[in-house]
Amino acid sequence: MILIGERINGMFKDIREAIQNKDPEPVRYWAKRQYERCAAYLDINTGPTVEKEDQPAVMEWLVKTAQEVAPMACCLDSTNPDAIEAGLKVHQGKAMINSTTADQWKMDIYIPMAAKYNAAIIGLAMNEKGVPKSAADRIALAMEIVVNCDMNGIPMEDLYIDPLMLPCNVAQEHGVEVLETLRQIKTLADPAPHTTMGLSNSSQRCTNRHLINRTFLIMSMANGLDSAIADVDDDELLDAVATANILLNKEIYCDSFLKTFRAR
C-alpha cells in the first residue's frame, strides 16, 4: 500500500496559518511525522484561501520546507497548473502530480508536464460533466487517461487512477461502483496502472469518520486499490492496512508484522 499523507493542506487550520505567517514549523512537523508513519508521499496543497497568483510561490515554499526535513517525494496537489509546475521545479526526486481529469484540455497540460519532469500522475475518472454514476462510465474515462499517458510515454506504473469516492452520506450508491471500477482498472493495460483514492472523501460530514475510512480502505484494497491519500496519523488505519497486506499476500507474515509495516 502506497500511502500519501494528507496533512500538509491549507484546508487544515495549522497549515493555513503557517502559510499566512510564513512559519515553517507546522509544515516541518507534519512532514517528519508523516515520514515516520510510513507515508510514501506527502500530499502538498496550498488550500483554498491562497490567491491564485500566490499559489506557485506558496507551493514552492511548502515543497522546499517539507523536503528539508523529510527525505521523501511529494504529491503536488492543486487545480492550478502553474502551482504544480512551480512545485515540480524545486522538487527533489520523483514527484507525483495531483491531478488531471479526463478532459482532453487538462490532460494536454498535465500529462506532458509529467513526462517533462519524469513525475507520476494521478488521473481522476471524471470530467467537466462531473463524477459519473456508474462503474462503466468511470472506466471509459479511465481508459481515456490510460491512452493519453501511453501516447506521452508515461509508463503505467507512474499512472495512478482515482475512481473518485464520494461521501457516503450524500452519494451512498457510489461505493459499490467505485469497488467495481477498481477491479476493472486493473484490466485496462498490462502492466496495469496503479489505483489511488482520496480516502477521507468517503466520510465527509459523517460520524465515525475513522471507522468509515478504514473500512472502505480495506474493502478497496481487496478490490485492487494500491495507494491512498489518507490520514497516516491514525494508528488503527495503519494496523488495518498492515493486516490487509498480510491477508492479501502482499507482505510475508512474521509475528512483528504491525511493526515491520511501520519500519522504513
Partner 1 sequence: MAVTIAKEKWTSKVGEMVLGADSSVNVGGESTLPFLQFEGAIPNKPVLALEVWDLEPEDWPEILKAPFAGVLADPVAWAKKNVEYGADVVSLRLMSAHPDFKNASPEECAATAKAVAEAVNVPLIIIGCGVEEKDAAVLEKVGEALAGKSCLIGCATEKNYKTITATAMVNGHSVIASTPLDINLSKQLNILMTEMNLPANRIAIDPLVGALGYGIEYAYSIMERSRIGALMGDKMLAMPVICFVGQEAWKAKEAKSTDEESPEWGAQERRSILWEVLTTTTFAQAGGSIFVLRHPESVKQVKVHLDKMMESNVY
* Residue 150 within binding range of partner 1, rule CB under 8 A: no
* Residue 53 within binding range of partner 1, rule CB under 8 A: no
Look at the block and give the residue holding cell 487544515: 12
Q: Residue 68, CB half-sphere, CA atoms under 13 Å: how many?
A: 11
**Which residue type occupies 15?**
I
Q: Which residues pair with 246 in a beta bridge?
A: none
- Looking at 12-103, list the stretches that DSSP marks H as alpha helix, in order from N- to C-terminal side: 13-21, 25-36, 55-69, 81-90
Q: Which is nearer to partner 1, 13 or 259 (CB)?
A: 259
Residue 208: exposed, middle, or buried by beta-carbon count in 10 A (0-12, 13-18, 19+)?
exposed
Q: Which is nearer to partner 1, 207 or 249 (CB)?
A: 249
43 with 6: CB under 8 angstroms? yes
Please give the residues from 163 up to 202 whose contact with partner 1 meets the rule CB under 8 A: none
171 with 130: CB under 8 angstroms? no
Among 175, 260, 261, 262, binds partner 1 (CB under 8 A): 260
Q: Which is nearer to partner 1, 204 or 260 (CB)?
A: 260
Name the one range near partner 1 by CB under 8 A: 27-35, 181-189, 222-230, 253-261.
253-261
* Residue 94 within binding range of partner 1, rule CB under 8 A: no
Q: Which is nearer to partner 1, 40 or 237 (CB)?
A: 40
Name the one range near partner 1 by CB under 8 A: 134-142, 146-154, 169-177, 245-253.
245-253
d(CA 134, CA 80): 28
d(CA 72, CA 33): 12
Nine-digit cell string for 152: 506521452
Shortest Å, Cβ 224 to partner 1: 18
Please give the residues from 203 up to 232 whose contact with partner 1 meets the rule CB under 8 A: none
Question: CA angle at residue 6 from 96 to 246, to 5 degrees?
Answer: 85
Q: Which is nearer to partner 1, 207 or 252 (CB)?
A: 252
d(CA 78, CA 244): 31
Name the one range near partner 1 by CB under 8 A: 51-59, 122-130, 173-181, 256-264.
256-264
Q: Which is nearer to partner 1, 69 or 246 (CB)?
A: 246
* Residue 251 within binding range of partner 1, rule CB under 8 A: yes
Applying CB under 8 A, the residues found at the interface with partner 1 are 157, 251-256, 259-260, 263
